[in-house]
Amino acid sequence: MAHQTRIPKLASILAVSALGLSLSPSWAARSFTPQAGTWVISDEVDGKPGRGFAIDVQGNTFFMQVFGYEKNGDATFYAATGQMEGDTVTAPLLRYQGGRSFGSEPRDAQEDKSIGDVKLSFRNGLQGTMQLPGEPAKDIERFIFTAPDAAYYQTEQWKTSSRMARWFGLNAQGQVEKSWFAMLKTSPTEPMRLTLSDGQTSETLECSLTTPSDSIRCVAANAADAGQAPVVKEAQFRLLGAQVAGAVSLQAEGAAPLQLLGINTRADYPYSGGVIVGCCANGLESFMPGTFGYAQRPAYQPSNGTWVMDDELTGKPGRGVSLDVQGGKMVMQVFAYRADGQPTFAMGVGDFAPDPELRDVSSARFSLQQYRGGRSVGGAASSGELVRDEGEVMVQVSGRTGGYGMPAGSLAEAMVQFPGESAKRMRRLPLQPWQTLEDQLFGEWYFPGLSYAGRPLTVTLNRREGEFVTNDDGSVRCQFNTQMLRGECQWPTATGTSGSSGPIELQDAFALSNSYVRLRDRYGNLLGLGQVPLN
């Protein structure tokens, strides 16, 4: 990957992006954001090794790493970065050479050449089209490897679990009309049930997993609170890593269905892995950092997307990693170089779970493998084949504050150990600046206390006043606590007193929150997946 010309080239893109608040872009804001992780060309998915790509979109900045093959069959990679214009981007596809191989001394790479422009257009956060140089446009899709018949749905994590999420129902204008705390409970002996609570009322729906899709359909069963009429008639949705997407139908006659934007926060299940003596009877899948009780074994879910090694961030081209965790599995692509300096990639997949020896640490160990013989850019259809095993890689993630020398308090930091190398820190690569109050707080936010103060469910922070950022009329004021790495906001209540949102966790650009949720970025792009296929 090239974090490269990330300093000269990406920096110039980011400088243009920073003007977006004072100079309105000529394109409309997106109604979705493409999900970060592994993508594939739809008609090339045949169960055999092939080519694919890792996509990462942050704000209006697009970054992609393509893993493929040279005309002679050698594995290679290319990188592209550009500025999204609405849901479309066109960028040069660049080849690099001369960088670091597994176990080698530090080496910076250099740009070799551009093989032409690549063009992508997205329909939603999971689907789109891509035209590679010398090829026709083709359908592309997010690679979802927890299929309905996958072993994941036979595990304790799925069959006996309580999965918590924050749900938002958006109307046709993209405005939040409803918000819920959602809990999906599965059991081997009882029907799957969804409980939705808006803080005042609670209702239960009975659910089923529809096949052959991975969509869950829930219909109204009864009101959990006696005397309360149910509000939701039906919900159909997909669980996609840290995100939930789907649609919600309401009971009210004539009510239009709402688009569902959801954030998974945690899942509790019986723990059946290796047990540290005297502890840890309960498993926990967490999409947020934190320290949990002694009886729990958390599997902290790292932030999917493009990662880089701390000590290799030199401002020049180098190696990069794409991490993708779904359903207890980690897929990794490493974009690196051979001993002779030619670009290559290695890929592996393995179980991602609580570490068997360290508390509050999640880990994966698996082999990285090298392939050859697959399809080249502009070349004829061809499947790749395994060439060799490069050795074992280890990844460790912890959301706990302190301990074991691990990066802590952030799921965008981890430890990685490549074959023939010592362990080192790596982090999710921020494509957008993260230094100013505007970077950290601008956008549309849901604050749970606003509705009780007689205000709309969301607020858009878009103005800077000294050490504060505010909404248009200045009634909501937020500042960044540099010591605690969090935002703190206040607003007037219906009685004239000052309300408070409590802390907004902002330890990194990718932090998720159970209560204070950013729904749109500073450019107005919706951070959900949009209208995704459900059937």
Residue ranges of the domains in the chain?
A: 151-268, 437-520
pLDDT over threshold 90, residue 162: yes
Share of the chain above pLDDT 90, in %: 65
pTM score, two decimals?
0.91
533's CB contacts (< 8 A; 6+ apart) are 126, 127, 213
Can you give the pLDDT at residue 495?
63
Can you give the pLDDT at residue 1?
44
* Token output for 89: 């981007």
Which pLDDT band, with edges at 50, 70 and 90, does 491 fall under?
Answer: confident
Name the class of domain 151-268: mainly beta
Can you give the pLDDT at residue 500?
66
Q: What share of the chain is helix, strand, coil (3-state, %, to 5)?
A: 5, 45, 45
Half-sphere exposure of 290 (CA within 13 A, CB side): 18
Can you give the pLDDT at residue 406?
60
Chain mean pLDDT for the chain: 87
Output b/e per residue, 99-138; b: 16+ Cβ within 10 A: bbbbeeeebebebbeebeebbbebbbbbbbbbbbeeeeee
Tell me if the bond preceding 212 is cis, omega within 30° of 0.
yes
pLDDT over threshold 50, residue 165: yes
11's CB contacts (< 8 A; 6+ apart) are none
Q: Bigger pLDDT: 324 or 226? A: 324
Pairing of strands 52-58, 176-186: unpaired
Can you give the pLDDT at residue 219?
97
* Token output for 102: 């597994």
Can you give the pLDDT at residue 447?
85
